[in-house]
Amino acid sequence: MIIENVAICTVDSAGTEYANGYVVLDGEWITAVGAGPAPSTGAPQEHRVDGSGCLVTPGLINTHHHLYQWATRGHAVDAGLFDWLTALYPVWSRFDAEITHAAASAGLARLALTGTSTVADHHYIFPHGGGDQVGAVLAAAERIGTRCHLVRGSMDRGAREGGLPPDELVEDTEEALSGTEAAIEVHHDPAPNARVRIAVGPCSPFSVTERLMRGAAELARRKEVRLHTHLAETAEEDRRCRAEFGLTPAQYAERLGWLGADVWLAHTVHPDPEAIGLFGATGSGSAHCPSSNGRLGSGIAPVRALLDAGVPVGLGVDGAASNEAGGLAEEMRAALVQARQRDGTGALTVREALRMATMGGARCLGRDRELGSIEAGKLADIAVWRLDGFEHAGIADPVAALVLGAPAPLELLLVGGKPVVSHGEPHGWSPRELAAELRAATGRLA
């Protein structure tokens, strides 16, 4: 396939862009990218795509999500994090694999339609009698066609032990660890072109014991997979950590072996300067979730300070129960606007916002060698955005149009060279069918 006559923002290390160029694909890999007319490959089945009026970027990478939450949108709409969780935990305790699959399918479909090719899904609910929750999410990813980094989450600290979740929704510590190890052994693919990878993800300091945190870190490093957890999300969490452990959330994570180049953390809204320095020095990544943070009133993450400290920063949608829109493309604009509200006009550029949604996410997930930029030798995960409609007419800079303008229509989304969205329409799945399944699932919950 050759995509030609198109503007290209490669997001490579040099920031290379072409006002009019081409991308050549061979199977699931990019073989060439450049300016001007596309050369002929000589292949007998060469297929050319005219990208006139469009911008090519890497497929977007969602570094933090809870796909199951698509079935509980619109709950506790005026609550902060802890009250929101308290309201939703009893509902989530009634999930089964069928509900999770319907929710995950709908959530992944929305992400695909907003240019997302890779999704890190932090799944931490395993209700008793709830069936194969991990399999339900991964089947949804296969159905929609996106890559999935399934973070096998866990909670073992219920209300009896001073935790926030109800006791009926937490696992035994050993059960959580053995379930996580089983997910790695059955599903994790370390290959460069992997569609599925597994990470280890105890949920948060207020829902997990120290024993599980330490055991999970040891397991992840023994199995050579990545680690993910929520950290420093709210001021309340910060106060709770200081009161209970005598440490900030970052200090607590460091003590438990939860900082390092194989770790990425969700939110990091309230790190102090020492914590930002720790994240940068250890190479710990951050999944920035601006819309969810705003919806829950958690605050605005110090993105400029994190980037300046060398922290890999990606973007996350977070669960649809705290971000009902559920799309990733709009998070670029939200991240830029919030950063400038916090730190002024120089806090984030439009290209830094796009980099966070692509290469920043690839770095968080440990996939920057094969994902996150348009370069020969990388996987053909590519988004083609149509920018020639009235919503973007007159914006000369296509990256500014994409980040600051109205949500751009998606002309084409390729994952490993295979179409997931083509001419703006889903490829191989039906939104109407997904909506019917979701209505049935939410009806059962109600």
> Position of tokens 């006002």?
19
Enumerate residues 6+ apart whose C-beta is below 8 A from 4. Answer: 21, 22, 37, 38, 48, 49, 50, 51
| Any domain includes 433 | no
pLDDT for res 446? 86
Residues 315, 411 within the same domain: no
Confidence class for position 7, pLDDT limits 50, 70, 90? very high
User: CA dist 45 to 1, 48, 302, 319, 384, Å?
Assistant: 9, 10, 49, 42, 22
Judging by DSSP bridges, how do beta strands 60-65 and 116-123 pair with one another?
parallel
Report DSSP state, residue 16. Answer: -
Residues 93, 170 within the same domain: yes
Confidence class for position 50, pLDDT limits 50, 70, 90? very high
3-class secondary-structure state, position 133: helix
pLDDT for res 40? 80
> Position of tokens 């802890």?
82
pLDDT for res 442? 92
Residues 335, 210 within the same domain: yes
| Any domain includes 445 | no
Token pair belonging to 135: 């399999």
Residues 289, 390 within the same domain: no
| Any domain includes 352 | yes
Residues 199, 167 within the same domain: yes
Residues 118, 49 within the same domain: no
39, pLDDT greater than 90: no
Q: Which residue type occupies 207?
A: S
Residues 129, 50 within the same domain: no
In DSSP notation, 261-316 reads TTEEEEE--S--HHHHHHHHHHT-EEEE-HHHHHHTT-----HHHHHHTT--EEE-
| Any domain includes 444 | no
349: nearest Cα among 307, 312, 383: 307
Any idea of the CA torsion for 348, 350, 351, 354, to the nearest 10 degrees?
Answer: 100
Residues 299, 410 within the same domain: no
Inter-residue long-range contacts of 213-218, CB under 8 Å, 24+ positions, other chains counted: 213/256, 213/258, 214/256, 214/257, 215/173, 215/177, 216/154, 216/176, 216/177, 216/180, 217/256, 217/257, 217/258, 218/257
Enumerate residues 6+ apart whose C-beta is below 8 A from 345. Answer: none
3-class secondary-structure state, position 116: strand
Residues 331, 420 within the same domain: no
| Any domain includes 432 | no
41, pLDDT greater than 90: no
Side-chain-side CA neighbours of residue 235 (13 Å): 6
CA distance 267 to 285: 10
Residues 25, 89 within the same domain: no
Q: What pLDDT, in 10s, does the model give residues 192-251?
A: 999 999 999 999 988 999 999 999 999 999 999 999 999 999 999 999 999 999 999 999
Enumerate residues 6+ apart whose C-beta is below 8 A from 194. Answer: 147
Percent of the chain scored above 70 by pLDDT? 100
CA distance 224 to 247: 28
321, pLDDT greater than 80: yes
In 77-125, which residue ranges form alpha helices assigned H by DSSP?
A: 81-92, 97-113
Confidence class for position 45, pLDDT limits 50, 70, 90? confident
206: nearest Cα among 246, 239, 250, 157: 157
Q: Which residue type occupies 128?
A: H
| Any domain includes 371 | no
142, pLDDT greater than 90: yes
| Any domain includes 434 | no
Residues 263, 395 within the same domain: no
CA distance 77 to 37: 51
Under 8 Å between Cβ of 416 and 379: yes
Under 8 Å between Cβ of 362 and 372: yes
pTM listed for this prediction: 0.98
pLDDT for res 46? 83
Residues 222, 82 within the same domain: yes
Which segments of 72-183 are extended strands (E)?
A: 116-123, 147-154
CATH number for the domain spanning 111: value is 3.20.20.140
Average pLDDT, integer, range 354-358: 98
Q: What pLDDT, in 10s, does the model give residues 361-403?
A: 999 999 999 999 999 999 999 999 999 999 999 999 999 999 9
Token pair belonging to 390: 């009235």
Total domain count, the chain: 2
| Any domain includes 328 | yes
- Residue numbers of the domain that contains 339: 60-364
Token pair belonging to 413: 């989304």
Enumerate residues 6+ apart whose C-beta is below 8 A from 281. Answer: none
